[in-house]
Amino acid sequence: MINNTHELCSRGTPSGRRARRDLCAIIESVLKAIDPYELVRNNLKLKNERLTVAGKATFNLADYQHIYVVGAGKAVYDMARAAENVLGEKITCGHINIPAPPLSGRLKKITAQVARHPIPDNRGVQGAKRIKKIIAAAQADDLVLAVISGGGSALMPLPAADISLRDKIAVTSLLLKTSATIHEINIVRKHLSQIKGGQFASLAYPATLAAIYISDIIGDSLDIQASGPTAPDPSTFADARRILERHGIWRQVPAAVRDRLQKGNQGERPETPDQGHAAFCSGRLVNFTIANHQTAVSAAVQKGKELGYQTLELTSSLFGEAREVAKTLTAIGSHIQAYGRPVRRPALLVAGGETTVTIRGPGKGGRNQELVLAAMPYLKSGLTIASFGTDGVDGLTPRPVAGALADSQSLSAANQLRLDPTKYLLRNDSYHFFKKTAGHILTGPTGTNVGDLMLLAIN
């Protein structure tokens, strides 16, 4: 839930305060809808030794000698906790990697390792080795239940034998400073790993593998989600190299990385497993996505309607440079305000997805804060914008913030403080701008993740 609602909603005109309160209420409704514990509880049903997953596949537990639960990601602790609640003593053992100590509940059969995100650390490597050991030991009469969510790629790092963790960290750090999409970053990660890009599934084979995902990837492509541990990988070493070249960092990455990608491209390293691998054509693997960007968008639309707004669901697949997306959203809002089309006021625009930021300055911030900062010059009276990461963490900032909220009164307050939004935008310093203007959305890490949500109220 939002920790600073009073601060966010106590300023401005009465109508402005109402819009702020409404956006905060919508955000909290979304976070409730994507609660990982409840999502897994609702999608795992056990009756008479038969486990039904997402209402689509049923497993007769009497057929299995052992049940293992493994995974990694921002939402995985509560996903694993729900799996324990359903399966109880039927679980043999398991292990998960998570980004922070759990806020509630305890695991009994599954161990957990706190590891670093988004830059991986050695704790993550040790946890990934534990996961690899468990799944590699699984036999044909065993069931592996994998719980995976956004953040799973960085939280399950297991570098290839010819790559060090330091090498992987260097590559990830360089990519995060470019406009590379999460899809591109994960393609590179897969080709530097022992467990990503379908290699998790190949390690678990011939055990039965049921993987449950909470997706933060636009389009829910399983080969991209958490770098595709349980999906065949259509990407290649050549793709990974092209991404590094496209973003101008090929010569900056460690020599060991260049050497591995070159050797892979020449056929001297095995490609990640594709659709023809036995793990993917034996009928022993099933993947389920139980929540995604659309889950958040639908929850926001429903709450907006309850609050009396004419809602316009734009997309759950929004991408692009954050500052350009901001211009588009505010342009649509201004059109509705002026002409009452395609919906009448009070209106609410809802979009889900994940934007990118090309870092040009030395400042601190994240894509959601940058989007709101870029929107500020275009916020006419009656327009209120919020953009937030559902994981509660927007970028690399001195303290975790989920995103930001602003309206025309925010610009007036900035002018009184002699703060120029344009100058902060040029420095990519959205964090310090909103810290000074009290525009941050503060939730703390939410323990879930289905990407970002953008809201624009038009009154």
Token pair belonging to 432: 């310090």
Q: Please state which of the ranges 118-127, 141-150, 174-183, 205-214 shows the lowest mean pLDDT.
A: 174-183
Whole-number pLDDT of residue 156: 96
Q: Which residue has the tokens 């999409």?
A: 181
What is the rounded average pLDDT of the residues 129-136? 98
CA gap 190, 230 in Å, rounded: 12
Segment 382-427, tens digit of pLDDT: 999 999 999 999 998 988 999 999 999 999 999 999 999 999 999 9
Tokens of residue 323, six digits:
């500052």
pTM above 0.85, yes or no: yes
DSSP SS3 for 78: helix
Give me the pLDDT at residue 423, please: 97
Round to whole Å and give the CA distance between 405 and 121: 33
Q: pLDDT, tens digit, for every residue of 319-369?
A: 999 999 999 999 999 999 999 999 999 999 999 999 999 889 999 999 999
Q: Is the pLDDT of residue 247 over 90?
A: yes
Task: Give the residue range(s) of CATH 3.40.50.10180 domains in the chain.
Answer: 36-158+193-235+272-291
pLDDT, position 11: 81
Strands ordered across the beta sheet of 208-214:
110-114, 93-98, 66-72, 142-149, 208-214, 285-291
* CATH 3.40.1480.10 in the chain, residue ranges: 5-33+294-458
Mean pLDDT (whole number) for 246-266: 97
Helix residue ranges, H only, 284-429: 293-306, 322-339, 367-375, 408-416, 421-426
Residue 201 has pLDDT above 80, yes or no: yes
3-state secondary structure of 273: coil
User: Tokens standing for 204?
Assistant: 């678990």
CATH of 36-158+193-235+272-291 among 3.40.50.10180, 3.10.450.50, 3.20.20.20, 2.160.10.10:
3.40.50.10180
Are 391 and 151 in contact, with CB atoms under 8 Å apart? yes
What is the spatial distance between Cα 227 and Cα 127, in angstroms, rounded to a whole number? 17
- In CATH terms, is domain 5-33+294-458 a member of 3.40.1480.10? yes
Q: At a CB cut-off of 8 Å and minimum separation 6, what does 319 contact?
A: 181, 218, 353, 354, 355, 356
pLDDT at 103 over 80: no
What integer pLDDT is reported at residue 281 of this predicted model? 95
Q: Which two tokens stand for residue 369?
A: 């804060």
- Residue 349 is predicted with a pLDDT of 99
Asked whether residue 104 carries a pLDDT value surpassing 80, the answer given is no
Confidence of residue 118 (pLDDT cuts 50, 70, 90): confident
Q: What does the pLDDT read at residue 99?
A: 94
Helix axes 14-33, 293-306, angle to 10 degrees: 140
The pLDDT value recorded for residue 206 is 98
| pLDDT for the residue 58 | 97
Average pLDDT over residues 424-453: 97
As a whole number of angstroms, the distance between CA 432 and CA 397 comes to: 9
pLDDT at 312: 98
Q: What is the mean pLDDT of residues 65-80?
A: 98
* Confidence class for position 14, pLDDT limits 50, 70, 90: confident
Q: Which pLDDT does position 183 carry in this prediction?
A: 84
pLDDT value, residue 211: 98
- DSSP per-residue codes, 221-261: -TTTGGG-TTS-----HHHHHHHHHHTT-TTTS-HHHHHHH
DSSP H or E segment with residue 270? none
Q: Tokens at residue 157, please?
A: 């790092």
Kindly state the average pLDDT of the residues 9-24: 92
In this prediction, residue 119 carries a pLDDT of 84
Contacts of 352 (CB under 8 A, 6+ apart): 293, 294, 296, 297, 315, 316, 317, 318, 450, 451, 452, 453, 454
Return the half-sphere exposure (C-beta side, CA atoms, 13 A cut-off) of residue 123: 14
Rounded CA separation 28/22 (Å): 10
Mean per-residue pLDDT for 273-280? 96
- pLDDT computed for residue 421 by the predictor: 96
Q: What pLDDT score does 186 carry?
A: 86
Phi then psi dihedrals of residue 194, to 5 deg: -95, -10
Residue with the larger pLDDT of the pair 177 and 97: 97
Q: What pLDDT is attached to residue 13?
A: 84
Q: Looking at the predicted structure, is the pLDDT value of residue 83 above 90?
A: yes
Measured distance CA(23)–CA(386) in Å, rounded: 7
> 396 by DSSP, 3-state: which?
strand
Q: What is the mean pLDDT of residues 3-15?
A: 89
What pLDDT sits at residue 176? 85
What is the per-residue pLDDT for 102? 87
